[in-house]
Amino acid sequence: MIRPECPEPERPAADRNNKAKSVSGSIRLILTLAIALLVIPTANSGPDWRLDKQEHGVSFFLRDHPDSSIPEFRAVTLIPASMARVLAVLLDVENYSRWIHRCEQSFTVAISGEREQYIYQRNDLPWVRDRDIILKARLSHRDSAKQVDINLEAAPAYCQKHASANCSRIDADRYVRITDAVGSYRLNQLSDGTVELIWQQHLDPGGKLPRWLVTAMLADIPIKSLARLREVVQDAKYSESRIIVEGDSLRVETHRQAQPTNDLEKTNHAAGQDRNTG
């Protein structure tokens, strides 16, 4: 037996309008959520990372470290500037104090080849002895410099093993030397002309620091540093920076330099003359 189809009763006009408004509101909500998801860089996603906070245009993530009670961090920001300008700031070692929060002193200790250098950095810490570190920084790039990495690793005994003119500038007994640090800066050139900068690092400041101080610095330093970096990159000093790629080699040239830098900033002439790495 065929059942006759019964048409749905006609809804009142008010009900139809309310339903239309509800559907329209749902669509707007879905679009808003979709747009919000799009502005979060995909590199942030992952089962181990957890979003800790978002401040000053910086997304700050943490994940547990298998060999340490101190977690690893990842700080991500979008910078409205060219890759060349951002990279020029990152390679301007002598001026790290302009943007790295609590950095009091920094300089190139030695340069090794076209892609590697050793950097000294001293950080002012509240209420406790300052920390210093010697970092080995190695630069690499992919896809015609649309992605650039600067890998960082602590090299605490560098000046004990190698002769370098700039090692004499370091007061090894005055500060607590950081011996455990591994991290990187990753720069991704996006299609809209901005640069996504990802600063990822695990660092043990050493000594007997109160847990609350370590926890506070863990977020405070990268968030304030990247917020300041977005301002410094607009400085006229970096306005004419350009990247020159020749095969695997990459260098940055600025308008203030008669000669281009190598892969890792060579404005420090004393370090430029000392390439002794053993």
Q: How far is residue 129 from each of residues 126, 133, 219, 264, measured CA to CA in Å?
A: 8, 13, 20, 30
For helices 83-90 and 211-232, the axis angle rounded to 10 degrees is 130
Residue among 251, 257, 215, 219 at smallest CA distance from 238: 257
Task: Report CA dihedral (204, 210, 216, 221) to the nearest 10 degrees.
Answer: -40
Distant-in-sequence, close-in-space partners of 245: CB < 8 Å, separation ≥ 6: 141, 144, 145
DSSP 114: T
The residue type of 76 is V
The predicted pLDDT at position 20 comes to: 47
State pLDDT tens for residues 15-67: 555 544 444 444 443 333 333 333 444 344 466 999 999 999 999 999 999 99
Residue among 160, 153, 89, 171 at smallest CA distance from 117: 153
Classify domain 78-269 by CATH architecture.
2-Layer Sandwich (3.30)
Which residues does residue 105 pair with via DSSP β-bridges, in sequence order? 122
Q: Under a CB-based contact definition with an 8 Å cutoff, are residues 77 and 57 in contact?
A: yes
Answer with the residue of higher pLDDT: 225 or 41: 225
The predicted pLDDT at position 2 comes to: 43
Collapsing DSSP to helix, strand or coil, 273 comes out as helix
DSSP 4: P
Residue 144 pLDDT class (50, 70, 90 cuts): confident
Structure tokens at 52: 């800790």
Q: What is the pTM of this model?
A: 0.77
The predicted pLDDT at position 17 comes to: 53
CA angle 135/245/85 to nearest 5° reads: 65
CA angle 256/153/194 to nearest 5° reads: 50
The predicted pLDDT at position 36 comes to: 36
For the chain, the domains span 78-269
pLDDT exceeds 60 at position 278: no
State pLDDT tens for residues 166-218: 999 999 899 999 999 999 999 999 999 999 999 999 999 998 888 888 888 89
State pLDDT tens for residues 83-135: 999 999 999 999 999 999 999 999 999 999 888 999 999 999 888 999 999 99
pLDDT exceeds 70 at position 261: no
pLDDT exceeds 50 at position 270: no
Which element (helix H / strand E) includes 14? helix 13-38
Residue among 154, 153, 161, 166 at smallest CA distance from 109: 166
